[in-house]
Chains A and B, each alone.
Chain A
Amino acid sequence: MSDLAIDIRNVVKRYAEHVAVRDLSLQVPRGAVYGLLGPNGAGKTTTIRMILNIIVPDSGSIELFGQSHRSNGVTDRIGYLPEERGLYKKMQVRRVLRFLAELKGVPAKVAEQRIGEWMERFQLKTAEKDWGLAKIDELSRGMQQKVQFIGTLLHDPDLVILDEPFSGLDPINAQALKDTVVELKARGKTVIFSTHLMDNAERLCDAVCIIARGDKVLDGAVTAVKAAHGGKVVALAVASDSRPAVAGILADRALVARVDDQNRFYEINLAPGADPQLLLRRIVESGATIQRFELVQPSLHQIFLEKVGASGVEEGMSGQG
């Protein structure tokens, strides 16, 4: 049995005008929470659609749980939450959910029981109101998202793919979704989610893959990625009257590659080969009142900006990752 939930090798997908995914290879271990990160139009959704066999890659191979993604029954082990919610608007919520579960091979009676449990968990069924009897178009957007998410998990999939799951969710429901992801991981399920929100990815993911313009920029365990990019970022806080004194030092490109003013402190990316001790010494010499000087591990957000930069978004893209 393969240890990989997903094994993508040299996959290419071209459209008439541009290459959506260029020679992408990535491996997702079983039981991991894996983040597919990238700006809008990077090729995230295209990759996910190829995994799900919705669109066919021009070349390369995709294996799920050690067998081809086109093998019979393998897609029944996947739960998919699309970026744009897709539900039959005129159908009753319970019937939609039963339909989605039955499509994945869950018997109707089992599906009914699970629908009840999930709806209670997501507060779609309370003592006052059972939204299961309402039609989809009577639900708010947030509720529809919850229904869609329930539909993704009803057949207890081994691999859950969530495309931009946090978009449009209020903080309470985002927390419920996050808790569910953590629970899925605890039960040994593999979760992949695509997002351009780095904070979520940093908190949830075991491993990440950053894609830009259809190319893989980097991948690996989050801790390893951060360690590899560590030692180059300094958090510096000085008294407000000392700010002009350090401005000149921070403008020195031999020492500082980029400064991100976070209001209460500066986040400083050191120039290649620059010594943080030298920076500290120069700030002390300038007479500034130092409140904080800390070598920090870079956030995924910073790594992302460093690797992808502003040029990561290709012009004229659909906006779907």
Chain B
Amino acid sequence: MDKANLRKLGVVFKREYLERVRSKWFLVGTLLGPVFFAMITVVPILISSKTKASTDLANVTIIDATSSGMGERVANALQQRYPLSPPPQVKSVDAASVPREEDRAVLSVQNKETRGYLILDSSTVAGTSVRYAGRNASSLGDVEQISSIVRQQVLAQKLQSEGIDAKRVASLTGARLQMITEKIGDKGREKGSGLGNVIFGYVVALLLYMMIVIYGQTILRGVMEEKTTRVAEVVVSSVSTDTLLAGKVLSWGSSPSRRCWRGWRCRSRSCSTACRCWSGRWARAPSRQAPRRGNLVASGWRASWPAPCLRCR
């Protein structure tokens, strides 16, 4: 790119850039953007923490159609795991009565007497399936807890039927293993779990994706606006389309750094007055008579910038 084109690139860049940072939407985006991104990263975590396994999971009806005491087993295990919870009610029935009991259990859940009901039948004893219905059926944490308890009891009963002592079975099957992970990189052991890194990577990828989509669309919208308003005809008669597009892309790429300059860095340095351009108040502007808000727009930010730090200049 020769010197003349480079100069034109600068002119296009300056216009795109300054018009953007002057707009109200840029200010709103600057202030609310971080809040928005914080929300989309924090809220899911909050929701997931809220949906962790509840403490009253034992407050369920157990419809036991196994006729092998499986219901009592599971009820005991639930009671042990959740001692503060109301105890589970076990209904030992034959297979034919299951639908009737199920209807009752549904009513009980609807009346908020219990959180759900568990149906144990021959397939549960066989170790293939167990059915749970309740208000918390969509909570992965709750369902996983109940499922693991039932799984343990099925295993325990199988072992017992093979002649292994009940207490020994309890000690063997009662292990609640929690895995603590640690990452090892090129520099050896690193702080943080692998899961944390996965989440971090996911968040960064999401942010990057959103940036590309949003900025890409904005550039597209800008080009469309120029074409529909016929500005393009005037501009393209002075500058090549390549230079025009490059100026637009560059100006978008550098917009976030502007936020940094105007916001955090300036305030932390000696030129806090420079940041007041957003609010329009210039009472403490040191180098010239304070212009009013209207004049600020008239003269442009460069003309009325009151002695900012080098970075802002």
Contacts and interface: CB of A to CB of B under 8 A. Distances in A.
A156 interface: no
Given A87-B229, A88-B229, A100 B4 contact: no
A105 B236 CA distance: 14
Contact of A54 (B5, B231, B237, B297): B237
B15 interface: yes
B233 A54 contact: yes
A82 B229 contact: no
Interface residues of A, number: 30
A84 interface: yes
Nearest to B295: A133
A82 B234 contact: yes
Interface in A258-295: none
Contacts of A254: none
Contact of B19 (A73, A85, A91): A91
B259 interface: no
B4 A72 contact: yes
A316 interface: no
B229 A86 contact: yes
Interface in B1-31: 2, 4-5, 7-8, 11-12, 14-15, 19, 23
A52 B237 CA distance: 6
A53 B11 contact: no
A76 B238 contact: yes
Interface in A52-109: 52-54, 72-73, 75-76, 78, 80, 82, 84-92, 95, 99-100, 102-105
B234 A80 contact: yes
B15 A99 contact: yes
Contacts of A82: 230, 233-234
Interface in B59-75: none
Contact of A78 (B12, B237, B239): B237
A104 B233 CA distance: 14
A124 B197 CA distance: 61
Contact of B237 (A53, A87, A90, A95): A53
A86 B234 contact: yes
Nearest to A78: B237
A39 interface: no
A75 to B, nearest CB: 6
A88 B20 CA distance: 13
Interface residues of B, number: 25
Interface in A96-152: 99-100, 102-105, 133, 148, 151
B232 interface: yes
Interface in A149-166: 151
Q: Among the interface residues A53, A86, A104, which one has the most CB atoms of the partner chain B within 10 A? A: A86
A148 B235 CA distance: 12
Contacts, number: 64
Q: Among the interface residues A90, A91, A102, which one has the most CB atoms of the partner chain B within 10 A? A: A102
B84 interface: no
B19 A103 contact: no
A68 to B, nearest CB: 15
B159 to A, nearest CB: 76
A95 B11 CA distance: 12
B233 A86 contact: yes
B214 interface: no
Interface in B227-250: 229-239
Given A88-B229, A133-B297, A133-B298, A100 B234 contact: yes
Interface in A223-278: none
Contacts of B235: 86, 103
A151 B230 CA distance: 14
Q: Among the interface residues A52, A78, A151, which one has the most CB atoms of the partner chain B within 10 A? A: A52
Given A82-B230, A84-B230, A88-B231, A105 B237 contact: no
A99 B11 contact: yes
A199 to B, nearest CB: 27
Contacts of B4: 72-73, 76, 105
Contacts of B234: 80, 82, 86-87, 100, 148, 151
Contacts of A53: 237
A52 B4 CA distance: 17
Contact of A80 (B8, B237, B300): B237
Contacts of A103: 8, 11-12, 235, 238-239
Contacts of A88: 19, 229, 231
A159 to B, nearest CB: 12
Contacts of A76: 4, 238
Contact of B232 (A73, A85, A86, A102): A86
Contacts of A85: 230
Contact of A104 (B19, B229, B238): B238
B298 A86 contact: no
Contacts of A104: 238
Contacts of A49: 233
19 contacts: A52-B237, A54-B236, A73-B4, A75-B237, A75-B238, A76-B4, A86-B233, A88-B229, A91-B19, A92-B297, A99-B11, A100-B238, A102-B14, A103-B8, A103-B11, A103-B12, A103-B238, A133-B297, A133-B298
Enumerate the 9 nearest inter-chain pairs by beta-carbon distance, A residue then B residue, closest first. Answer: A86-B230, A86-B231, A52-B237, A103-B238, A102-B11, A84-B230, A86-B234, A82-B233, A80-B237
Interface of A: 49, 52-54, 72-73, 75-76, 78, 80, 82, 84-92, 95, 99-100, 102-105, 133, 148, 151
Given A86-B234, A105-B4, A133-B297, 5 more contacts: A49-B233, A76-B4, A80-B233, A86-B232, A95-B300
Interface of B: 2, 4-5, 7-8, 11-12, 14-15, 19, 23, 229-239, 297-298, 300
